[in-house]
Amino acid sequence: QRIVMLGGSVAPTEAGGRLSGRLPALSFAASAALAAAAGLALLVLLLRRPGPFRLLRRSHIGSRAGAKKATVGAGAGAGAAAAVGPAAAAAAAATPGPTGKRGGPQQPKRDKGADRLEWWQRLNEVKPALVIPELRPWAGSPLALGEAPKAHKDVVALAQDRLTRGRDWLVRDSDYGPTPTHSNIKAQVNPALVRAVRAALGEEGLAKYLATDPRRVVLLLDTPRYGTLRHLVDAWPALRCCQQVVIPQADLGHYFEMMRGGEFYPGVRAQRLDHWLCANAGLGLRCPLAFLDFECRLAGALSARLCPAADVMRYFRFGYPAEPASVLALTVGLEEPAVTPEAVDAFVRWEAALNGYKADLVETWKYRMVTLLYIVRRE
C-alpha cells in the first residue's frame, strides 16, 4: 500500500480508503503517527532492496569512513591527537616506531667504523714489549775488542732512538709485488744458503739436526711464493711439513695466502719479526739458519717502529745463533747511517763479537739493496 503525505495530513489512495474506513474513530494525531510509522517502514524496505537506493547507502557510508581516516591521518601527522579523541591518540602511540619497539624512542645509529677502530686499538695492545737487551755476559770482554767502528756506533744509536718513536702495529703491509724485481738475485742467494748450511753443519744435514732438539728452529722471512723454503725442501724434503721452520709474517694478506696453500706446511706466524724475537727470547730457541730478508734499509721505518738493525742486535743478544756454528743471511737497503755494504758488514761483525760470536762473511750480493751471507761461530 502507498501512502502520500501532504502538508502533515494523510491523503489515502483507493487502496488506503478501506483503511480509513475501518478506523473512523482515529483522531488526527493518531493518523499522523501511523502515517509516519508506515513511511519509515517503507524507507527501510527500499534500502534493503537491491538497486540505486542501496548503492546510495554504500556511497554515503564510504564517504563517512574516508572522512574519518583523513581526520585521523591529519591528527597523527600534525600532532592533533586531541582532534580525533583519546582512542585515536592511544592507537597512534601503540603504532610501532622506526626501531620496531612499541612506544619506545628511536635508538641511535651505531657507528660501525668507530667500533672497528676501537676493536683494532684493543687488538694492538696484545703484543710483546719491544726491547733491545743489554749485552750478554761471556768469557771475553767488549773492552778487549778495541774501539768500535763508527758504523756500529751510528747504527746502535739510531736503533736505540727508534725504540721510542712511532707505533709498532701488529701487522704491516708488505712492499713485495707478485714477482719482486730482485728475484734473479734471490735465485742466486737461496742455493748459496744450502751450501753454507752444509758447510756449517756437516754431513748430518739440516733435517736431522732439527730432529734432535725441538728447540732448534730455522728462522725465515719468506713470501707466499716460498722461494727460500722451496730450495731448502729440495735439499731436505723432510722440511716440507716441519713446524720447526718458523716464518714470521706481518702482512696478513700474505699470511692467509700462505695458510690456504697445500704445497708446504711450515710454522708460519702472523707476527712481526721483532715481536717474535722478543716474545720467544726466554724459550732457549736456537737457529742453525736464519735468513732475515728485510724490505727496507738498516735503519727501518720510523712510523712503524721497525728497525732491522735492532733485530740484528736482538738476534745476537738474545743468543739465537745455534752452537757451535750457524748460518745468517741479511738483506737490507743501503741508506744512512750505513750506505755501503762495508758499513753494514762492520755493524754485523762487531755486534756478533760483542756477544761472543765470530761472523765470517761468505758472500755478498749488491743491487739497490745488499744481501750478506755469514757463517757464525761461537768463540
Question: Model confidence over 86-104: pLDDT tens digits?
Answer: 454 455 455 555 554 555 6
Question: Model confidence over 231-240: pLDDT tens digits?
Answer: 999 999 999 9
Polymer length in residues for the chain: 379
Portion of the chain with pLDDT greater than 70, in percent: 70
Portion of the chain with pLDDT greater than 90, in percent: 46
Cell of 19: 483503511
3-class SS of residue 174: coil
Angle at 34 between CA 28 and CA 37, to 5 degrees: 145
The helix (run of H) or strand (run of E) holding residue 81 is helix 81-94
pTM for this predicted structure: 0.69
List of residues 6+ apart from 196 with CB closer than 8 A: 327, 329, 362, 373, 375
User: What are phi and psi for residue 150, nearest 5 degrees?
Assistant: -60, -35
Mean local confidence (pLDDT), 38-47: 68
- Residues linked to residue 287 through DSSP beta bridges, in sequence order: 321
45-59, 81-95, 297-311: which range is least confident on average?
A: 81-95
Question: Model confidence over 202-225: pLDDT tens digits?
Answer: 877 899 999 999 999 999 999 998
With cut-offs at 50, 70 and 90, classify the pLDDT of residue 283. very high
pLDDT at 172: 76
Mean local confidence (pLDDT), 305-324: 94
List of residues 6+ apart from 321 with CB closer than 8 A: 286, 287, 290, 315, 328, 357, 376, 378
In the predicted structure, residue 144 carries a pLDDT above the cut 50: yes
3-class SS of residue 336: coil
pLDDT at 139: 55
In the predicted structure, residue 9 carries a pLDDT above the cut 70: no
- Taking all residues of the chain, what is their mean pLDDT, rounded to a whole number? 79
In the predicted structure, residue 375 carries a pLDDT above the cut 70: yes
Q: Is-contact 9 27, C-beta < 8 A? A: no
3-class SS of residue 180: coil
